[in-house]
Amino acid sequence: MRRCLLVAAALFGMFASPARAAPDYTALNQAAVQAHILPRYAALSAATAKFASIAAAGCADRLAWQAGWAEAMRAWQGVQHLRFGPVLLFNRYQRFAFWPDARNSMPRQLNEIFATKRLPDFAIGSIAVQGLSALERNLFDATEAAKLNSDAFRCAWAQAAAQNLTEMATAIEQDWRSGRHYAAQFVAAKGDLVAFAGPQEATQELFKALYGAIELVADHKMARPLGKGGRDARPMAAEHWRSGLSGAAIGANIAAARELYASFAPQLADAGLRSDLQRRFDDLAQRSGKLDLDHDITDAARRPELEKLRADLLALKTQLGERLAPALGLQIGFNALDGD
């Protein structure tokens, strides 16, 4: 009997899968901060500083303004999925870019400001009259852009708005690096600025950012303008339809998500899942990098490619929630997009 039990135990040991080691959440958090978060916020600081420098030179060179805005916009899209930490202080996240504007508040409030010629206090004022979205209207809308150089007040407002962006970006980066030392506290998952019970909860925040990046593009940035069919397309529901850079914004979102996934991959014991996710991210990043959402959305020949891209993004979102999260002991949880 004893011999039979020993043989059975040996056979069980041969065929039973070995216990998987728990993910190293601290290492994952450290990798995400050092390789993704800090460089991305540094890029935002640099791009907005360059934009503010262009603005300070005056409002005559509209093309320079547009190029500076586009660079700052792309840098913002690279951190747009990071809805935690210093970016939430002082309402910075909402002040950076106001979209979607369901009630068309931005044009109405800007017109009021231009009529009264009173510069708002951006720190405590409306989020609709500052940031990238408000600047886009005045740089790319032909009627509004024509007034930028001829109206001294409009120029002063645009210069102040550009300066406000670089001040916020600089403050966010400093809070992560040195001012509030948020990076160190996030990795350690302890300190007066974080409320994590441990490193796993900090990783959970990173997963929400990764999942949310794909969800934002698939369920909002593409779904809103695509509508339910060709005749239901709403081009002006796209995030950056005025500049024609809605596709570029989405490409930047997916490229950032792909980069963030690189911090998760080493902790995946399932090599098949790891490689499959990497393949999906690579493919989506490559296809979205060529995306021209604003023009293709009403093109009968090109629209199917947009619909296929969105379907593949939805499939990736499902895989992140149903396979990546459980594999790392995480949950989808609630995020900032719930209820939108």
The string of pLDDT tens digits covering residues 21-35 is 789 999 999 999 999
Residue 13 in any domain: the answer is no
% residues pLDDT > 90 (the chain): 86
Residues 163, 217 within the same domain:
no
pLDDT tens digits for range 211-231: 999 999 999 999 999 998 767
Residues 171, 250 within the same domain:
no
Question: How many domains does one find in the chain?
Answer: 2
Residue 193 in any domain: the answer is no
Write out the two tokens for 19.
């216990």
Residues 88, 172 within the same domain:
yes
pLDDT exceeds cutoff 70 at 334: no
Burial degree of 87 (CB within 10 A; 0-12, 13-18, 19+): buried
Of 188, 210, 245, the residue at which a domain comes to its end is: 188
Which pLDDT score, from 0 to 100, does residue 272 have?
Answer: 98
First to last CA, the chain: 64
- Decide if 254 contacts 285 (C-beta within 8 A): yes
Which pLDDT score, from 0 to 100, does residue 231 have?
Answer: 79
pLDDT exceeds cutoff 70 at 1: no
Q: Which range among 12-16, 311-315, 333-337 shows the weakest confidence by mean pLDDT? A: 12-16
pLDDT exceeds cutoff 70 at 13: no
Of 188, 209, 240, the residue at which a domain comes to its end is: 188
Query: Taking CA 76 as the corner, what is the angle to CA 247 and CA 139, rounded to the nearest 5 degrees?
Result: 70
- In 3D, which of 236, 7, 197 has the Cα closest to residue 100? 236
- Residue whose token pair is 């899942």: 273
Q: Which domain holds residue 101?
A: 25-188
Residue 15: partners with Cβ closer than 8 Å, 6 or more residues away: none
Residue 17 in any domain: the answer is no
pTM of the model: 0.92
Burial 259-281 (b: 16+ CB within 10 A, else e): bbbebbbebbeeeeebeebeebb
pLDDT exceeds cutoff 80 at 64: yes
- pLDDT, average across residues 255-267: 98
Of 188, 217, 243, the residue at which a domain comes to its end is: 188
Residues 210, 92 within the same domain:
no
